[in-house]
Chains A and B, each alone.
Chain A
């Protein structure tokens, strides 16, 4: 196949990616969109295989090993583990870009400056995406502590590493024959990825995953510049843009700037120094008593958070929803943009439990009519329903848009204990007049409620 034909196929592939992404914009067409995008990928790969002089033994080896790993992981993974899984795939994408840049360099006898700069960028961004994603994977799967790790002079150290990378780049570009600078830069970029995710806490993970997603696209685009492949540039920048948008949506939902998320080590400072306003009495309630309230309710809103994922409670939530609906009540779900550990985390879990997506309402849809709900059931959510964000100016989350669950007639909070949330911030909601605490494992508590209905 001539290179012109291959290029034509690349144009078709780019169109399929764009149409696929467009279809991903609506739940009704999203699945079709993903298939369209995968067809684009398939034709691009097949066309490339018609290039002259390829070593098929090595290529098939790469296909088989990578394909098997990808397929097995994609089939086996639990929906609750989706965030760490996306982080891991991101990391592999970054690593692939690193190797593409490196290999392209080995192929080029007398490289130009532009080529060297792009090779360097694909190695740098690919490398830090890889280790950053691995660390995010570790934090999300709780193999390592999700607490932010902060030390004195952290920013200076990180800036120092970045500066060292830039110096390596300059020295390498001046004398590409001496590849020690390149190896040093590879090492430094891997280190930078770790240093950059270390200070970021578990609750801020939606931002980090979005950002790493964007990086993996930009790394692919940089690799495209290095080897002069337009399809890599187009597809890479589409992904880069999508990651950046998600990042900014997540930051807005937390009312914080990106640099605040990345550098502040949010949640390490105890907020107890601020004036605690209404540390009233906590009013616990048993599942049986809660049943009587729910039985009389004609409208219920469920607010899920990361705790629902941890307790794997999504299926029993759906059971309760059906019983309540059978009992004549309206049941909807209120989803905060940063509930969970990645954008849209709760929506996927509830979809797994067969909850129709039109019952899942966004914060702006639910807040104006919160007062009309008889009961709000909060399952493992904390900061996203914290009224301190509206009322307590000294609170670290003051100004963050939250779901105003406290405005419902009665609020049930399902919680393991009175420990504060992931960000370590006091939540006055637990002490409100209309709040009842249902302590214990969320799945168990919900199971008891379901039993009470039978």
Chain B
């Protein structure tokens, strides 16, 4: 893909991220951090495409599979622990966190 297009998307996404996160109250900083950490496990999608059939380049596939493993820890662990934390955040007057 065109390099300029990629850079264009990159710059816009950073601005979008700044706008989104600036509004998060400090009480949610830890879940925000672990939740965004899970999103950074998106590397998983990149890693999957690198694990391909064929004997001629097995080393590359194995490296990709290792990346799949580590990224999966990040994704599964990150989302689960964030959910566990957020389930505990409750409002006064017996609210159910909704």
Contacts and interface: CB of A to CB of B under 8 A. Distances in A.
A109 B54 CA distance: 15
Interface in B53-69: 53-54, 57, 59-69
Given A93-B70, A97-B43, A99-B64, A237 B26 contact: no
A337 B88 CA distance: 20
A219 B42 CA distance: 11
Contacts, number: 377
A219 B98 CA distance: 34
B6 A233 contact: yes
Contacts of A244: 18
Contacts of A73: 73, 77, 81
Given A58-B51, A242-B20, A70 B88 contact: no
B91 A342 contact: no
B90 A34 contact: no
A27 B38 contact: no
Contacts of A62: 47, 51, 65-69, 72
A348 B88 contact: yes
A224 B22 CA distance: 25
- Which residue of B48, B53, B84, B92 has the most chain A CB atoms within 10 A of its CB atom? B48
A93 B16 CA distance: 22
A86 to B, nearest CB: 5
A106 to B, nearest CB: 3
A58 B72 CA distance: 13
A280 B70 CA distance: 55
Range of interface residues on chain A? 35 or more
Given A54-B51, A77-B81, A100 B16 contact: no
Nearest to A348: B30
A20 B32 CA distance: 10
Nearest to B75: A41
B33 A210 contact: yes
Interface of B: 1, 3, 6, 9-10, 13-18, 20-54, 57, 59-93, 95, 97-98
Given A100-B46, A229-B45, A241-B14, 16 more contacts: A18-B20, A24-B35, A25-B28, A55-B51, A55-B61, A65-B69, A69-B73, A71-B76, A73-B81, A74-B76, A221-B10, A227-B46, A245-B21, A249-B29, A348-B88, A358-B91
* Pairs A-B, 5 closest by C-beta atoms: A241-B17, A66-B72, A344-B29, A62-B68, A70-B77
Interface of A: 10, 17-18, 20-22, 24-28, 30-31, 33-35, 37-38, 41, 44-45, 48-49, 51, 53-55, 58-59, 61-63, 65-67, 69-71, 73-75, 77, 79, 82, 85-86, 89-90, 92-93, 95-100, 102-104, 106-107, 114, 209-210, 213, 216-217, 219-221, 223-225, 227-246, 249, 335, 337, 342-345, 347-348, 351-352, 354, 356-360, 362
7 contacts: A41-B39, A58-B68, A62-B47, A96-B70, A100-B43, A238-B20, A344-B30
